[in-house]
Structure 1
Amino acid sequence: MKLFHKLLVAPAALGLLAPVAANATELNINGVSDYAASGEQVTSITQFSDVYPTDWAYQALSNLIERYGCVAGYPNGTYRGNRAMTRFEAAALLNACLDRVTEVTDELKRLMKEFEKELAILKGRVDGLEARVGELEATQFSTTTKLKGQATFVIGANNFAGSSRQIGAGDTFLSGVEGTGTRRAKAAAAESGATSFNYDLRLFLDTSFTGKDLLRTMLRGGNFAESAYGGDGYVGLDALETAFEEGAPNNVVVNRLWYQFPIGSNFTATIGGRVRQDDMLAVWPSAYPSDTVLDFFTYAGAPQTYNLMLGAGGGLSWESDDFSISANYVSGNGSSSTPGSGIDGVDGCAENSGGIATDCAASSGTVQIAYAPENWGIAAAYNYASGDNGAGLYAGNGTPTANFFNGLGTTNSFGLSAWWTPEEASWIPSISAGWGYNNVDIDDVAVAGGTIDGATSQSWYVGLQWADAFMKGNTLGMAVGQPTFVTSWDNSTDINDGSDFVADGNYAWEWWYQFQVTDNISVTPALYYLSRPIGFVTNNLDGSSTKTFNNFGGLLKTTFKF
């Protein structure tokens, strides 16, 4: 029985079963007659002069009148809701409602006959959809797992200019190579100047057992190891965020494997044998970029603090309203049971040694505090990387000298980041900015002519991004900053004329425009410029800064999401 049928019949049934306030001998037959035929059908509750919005049954009576049209009153425009209902009045009310139901039923029959063909077609389609759903459920990959993927093609090349002393790729001032006056640009072009075409493939298997937890398995493959964009070229800062290769070209490996689950209403825990630092942060402190180019600009301005260390680890985050606190630990060598340091009387970390929280663990511990309302935020973070095999920078995030120091010993790093995005797309861009500071504690590292006992380095960036630029769905972006560079060191050598100041600075720029071809395909042309990508190594060993070297590059990136 329909709901409104129940509502209509209920008063009548109550009237038939419950004691009545008046019996048949007391019944005013004329009054019942008037009630049963009170003239025009009532269409609005406002037609009753004695019914008020404060009455307890006001809404129910309004629904019966305006939705179902089966309530009548008395000829004088009253409803008399507080008087007792007789069995005759209940019968009259029920009769009026059943007449209304009959009218509706006849109208439905007429409509069903008129649209008989269309209804038959719809029924056939529904039956077909049910069959297809049944087939998919019987053959689906998993009832708990979804597969997502992203494939990226990158084609591009680099151009180099300037001159300085000639050294091999990866050398630093520590190599002790004297200046020769040869042109570095020629050597750079020979090693990293060819046009290359590379790809990166990511497959995400996301599994949920409760609807609130997440087990992520990420498979990844690529062929960037021999490309300048992989970070191992003549200029490491050419590295792209999307570049990947592990083991051998075209190998597909398990890049991530971690499990995340809630604890109560405010805490979230993450553990994994292959988990990355940012997988365990409640907030990523940047709105830039939506489409990545140079790797440096994807670290919120502090590549050592947000080192994206990958390995065995776990973390806990707390969120309440717009505040969050995250704490996590990652061991890059956590899968090893060999501590390494001190084995057979040898002080140091052998290859494949490590464990968790040992001197050779490649440890990285991070704490972040963030405040992030809907369209802006600010975050402060601290990172402690320890051990001879610590979590340091790689070539895509700093100058050769900074890369050498950061990760050589114990590093204390600080990062401060902020971002803002407009509520609606306009000529005003989103703004992201960040700054990083690192202090490296090392013990008498031998260099040409003396030792270095410690070093400090810094980095910063500002990124701008315009949504719906020139065309809805497309994005324009640019960023400027200084990748991590050494600002000073504890120098006890004649190198750099004995000065603690290090002329290691370098400016990086990038410009890009993302064409959103379809919801799943985007094409991004990009240009970038590095004013002094090898920093202090550009100079002669005597500290003179008369030499120059710069890097200009361009690429075309196509991304497929599926």
Structure 2
Amino acid sequence: MKLFQRLLVAPAALGLLSPISANANEVNLNDISNYSDVENIELADSFNNNPSIESTLLAGGEGLVDTSYDGGFSTTTTASFSVDMAIGAVDGNTTSEALTAVYGYQMDLSTSFTGEDTLAAALKAGSNQSALAQLDLNSTTNDALTVDGISYTFPLGDKLTVLVGDSTSGSALYSTACVYGGFTNTLDDCGNFSTAFTATGHAVAGTVGFSAAYDIGNGFTGAVGYNGQGSDAAGLGTIEGTDFVGGQLTYTADNYGVSITYADLDVATGWGLNGYYTFASNLPSVSVGYEFGEVEQVGADDQETTQWFVGLQWDELGNGTLGVALGSDGPQNEGVDEDMAYEVFYTYNVNDSMTITPALFIIEHNQAGAEDETGVVVKTSFSF
């Protein structure tokens, strides 16, 4: 077991954490290899599958907390890992109807310098999954481990929190009023695809992101966000570049919440309305969303779009969670028949670190010549 700990901690700490530690100490390889022999520190228990203690990788830096170790690593640095493996097929898919197996892997690293801030980096990898693209298992990486985003979050006073980062969504600190945990890409945005410009929605890949949230009080929170292209060819805030900016106001009570979101997406604008209600009994929570916007058209009137969503979720049904949802398949142009999306899933908790989710989803295409898609998938997820 000690050999496994040494093999795990040394390359992970040196290869991944050292490059992003701006104030790292000189690494002592003997200290790293002997890390598993250190007694009386809680984090050693994490390698024994103790779910109550978060797995921690230590990274260099003086003055972080009083419990830092000379020549070693700070206990403020943590790592979490997730693996998704899925097998399924989609009848009517234009790419392939064959039974397909795919995977997605993600590593999230974070550290704190003051106890209130967070420097975070995400790395991801996944297999090509065009037939099962509704699952969003990091398929764009094509089996290569890539940096998914780096961000720094810090407080300004007691009520304001700020986040800046690269390849980070401008809506990262939004609090959209939705408690439905969707299974597919289409329905997991709660009908807020455009206005809450997220990494799976209208974010510009590889861009600079800024987000800030303010606790107004009495259940109200406000947030603003920005995404812009920081490359030499485009530049932030230029005509050549793409810039998204938006804001959100949210009210949250004990068992319900509402939010209103606005976004200017360079060539489009939109408003999003969301709300949810949770019952005290065994009834499911209800989440709804509606979005409307306008897209600029060259030489023509602006194109109006709408999107809507309804999701029901039973959080404690047996040993898992049941979800059912329907809505439009993304923003739909006014005046045409809507493409619809439906899904049902059940996430079964095998243990604290493993879940199995069978799911069925349907994409209903109402345009001439388009075939409906019906997908049946079983996904196994690990977190550690």
> Which TM-score bucket, shorter chain as reference?
0.7 to 0.9
Contact 2:169 2:197 in 1 (8 A): no
Q: Which residue of 2 aligns with 1:431?
A: 286
Q: Which residue of 2 aligns with 1:273?
A: 166
Q: Which residue of 2 aligns with 1:368?
A: 248
In structure 1, distance between residues paired with 2:138 and 2:78: 23
1:288 aligns with 2:180: yes
Aligned pair partner of 1:300 in 190, 195, 216: 190
In structure 2, distance between residues paired with 1:461 and 1:561: 29
Contact 1:411 1:440 in 2 (8 A): yes
1:193 aligns with 2:50: no
In structure 1, distance between residues paired with 2:361 and 2:195: 24
1:219 aligns with 2:109: no
Aligned residues: 318
**TM-score using structure 1 length:** 0.54
SS of alignment partner, residue 297 of structure 1: coil
Aligned pair partner of 1:477 in 313, 323, 326: 323
| Alignment deviations for residues 83-112 of structure 1 (CA, whole Å, 9 cap, x no partner) | xxxxxxxxxxxxxxxxxxxxxxxxxxxxxx
In structure 2, distance between residues paired with 1:149 and 1:134: 19
In structure 2, distance between residues paired with 1:525 and 1:438: 34
4+ residue stretches of structure 1 with deviation over 6 A? none
1:157 aligns with 2:89: yes
Q: Which residue of 1 aligns with 2:138?
A: 244
| Alignment deviations for residues 249-269 of structure 1 (CA, whole Å, 9 cap, x no partner) | 111111111111111111111
Pairs within 5 Å for 1:130-209: 131-133=39-41, 142-160=74-92, 188=93, 191-209=95-113
Q: AA paired with 1:337?
A: D
In structure 1, distance between residues paired with 2:265 and 2:342: 28
Q: Compared with structure 1, are the counterparts of its residues 135 and 383 closer, same or farther at alpha carbon in structure 2 (3 Å cutoff)? A: closer
Q: Compared with structure 1, are the counterparts of its residues 134 and 415 closer, same or farther at alpha carbon in structure 2 (3 Å cutoff)? A: closer
SS of alignment partner, residue 557 of structure 1: strand
The structure that has the greater radius of gyration is: 1
Q: AA paired with 1:213?
A: D
Q: AA paired with 1:228?
A: A
Aligned pair partner of 1:313 in 182, 186, 209: 209
In structure 1, distance between residues paired with 2:361 and 2:117: 40
Q: Which residue of 1 aligns with 2:314?
A: 466
In structure 1, distance between residues paired with 2:278 and 2:154: 29
Pairs within 5 Å for 1:327-342: 327-331=224-228, 333-334=229-230, 336-338=231-233
1:530 CA drift (Å): 1.8
1:134 CA drift (Å): 10
Q: Compared with structure 1, are the counterparts of its residues 312 and 140 closer, same or farther at alpha carbon in structure 2 (3 Å cutoff)? A: same
Give the % identical residues.
26
| Alignment deviations for residues 519-562 of structure 1 (CA, whole Å, 9 cap, x no partner) | 11000000011221xx4xx32xxxxxxx5631111100111000
Q: Which residue of 1 aligns with 2:274?
A: 417
In structure 2, distance between residues paired with 1:140 and 1:438: 53
Q: Which residue of 1 aligns with 2:237?
A: 357
RMSD, aligned CA: 2.3
Contact 1:278 1:284 in 2 (8 A): no
1:442 aligns with 2:297: yes
Aligned pair partner of 1:325 in 222, 225, 228: 222
SS of alignment partner, residue 171 of structure 2: helix
Q: Compared with structure 1, are the counterparts of its residues 132 and 486 closer, same or farther at alpha carbon in structure 2 (3 Å cutoff)? A: closer
| Alignment deviations for residues 258-312 of structure 1 (CA, whole Å, 9 cap, x no partner) | 111111111111111221133232x1321001xx421121112121112211520
Gaps of 5+ in 2: 1-36, 45-68
In structure 2, distance between residues paired with 1:360 and 1:322: 40
Q: AA paired with 1:464?
A: L
In structure 2, distance between residues paired with 1:195 and 1:135: 42
Contact 1:485 1:505 in 2 (8 A): no
Q: AA paired with 1:300?
A: C
Contact 1:285 1:418 in 2 (8 A): yes
**TM-score using structure 2 length:** 0.77
Q: AA paired with 1:553?
A: G
Q: Compared with structure 1, are the counterparts of its residues 529 and 140 closer, same or farther at alpha carbon in structure 2 (3 Å cutoff)? A: farther
1:210 aligns with 2:111: no
Contact 1:280 1:314 in 2 (8 A): no
Q: AA paired with 1:479?
A: A
Q: Which residue of 2 aligns with 1:487?
A: 333
